[in-house]
Amino acid sequence: MELLKKRISEDGRVVGQDVIKVDSFLNHQMDIALLNEIGKEFKRRFNGEDINKILTVEASGIGIACIAAQYFNVPVVFAKKTESRNLDEEVYESKVFSFTKSKNYNIKVSKRYLNSEDRVLIIDDFLANGCAAAGMMDIVRQAGARLVGIGIVIEKGFQNGGKMIREAGVRLESLAIVESIKNNSIIFSEEKKGENNK
């Protein structure tokens, strides 16, 4: 998605060897016009697929998923990371390791909002090691729902998440894939096509 790559190149900030900060437009401050273009692009790529629910995980996936959901006419469910007295007791739960936060946490979805009738599109802002995606895939599996595909805004192609998902035969659509970071500049790769990709 050229508009997105352009924006990442212009406004993304490289920190250290492998961190790309896009918090001016994607995951702290959010450019809603850009999010709408991202939502349209997800719809274009998954057009014709039988999707009745979008699953994401708090926090930075939520805005992207909600804007995208408008183009699919489906509800969004977000997996919760934090303990809350208000969450149902009956939940699907999966353990996720966060490299950004250097700790394990559990993600949870109430059993009320995901079941074997659902055809799920997972959406998230970043795919790096794939831990959050694997946790959501695990929850979809526990629910007996059908995983239609995964839509990612920025994939770090030099980390293992994309490979893990594609090798699992899951359709993955990443709108921008970063191949490498060299001398503070971000190099994008062409899209990788998994077996299930069209």
Which one, 18 or 49, has the nearer CB to a copy of itself? 18
23 touches a copy of itself (CB under 8 A): yes
129 touches a copy of itself (CB under 8 A): no
Instruction: Restricting to residues 52-71, name those near a copy of itself by CB under 8 A.
Output: 58-59, 62-63, 65-67, 69-70
CA 59, chain centre distance (Å) = 11
Which one, 84 or 184, has the nearer CB to a copy of itself? 84
**Residue from 82, 104, 180, 185 in contact with a copy of itself (CB under 8 A):** 82
Instruction: Restricting to residues 97-116, name those near a copy of itself by CB under 8 A.
Output: 100-102, 109-110, 112-113
Nearest to 53 by CA among 34, 28, 79, 32: 79
φ/ψ of residue 115, rounded to 5: -150, -175
Which one, 35 or 147, has the nearer CB to a copy of itself? 35
φ/ψ of residue 9, rounded to 5: -65, -40
> What are the Cα distances from residue 124, in Å, to 8, 16, 17, 84, 195?
16, 23, 22, 22, 21
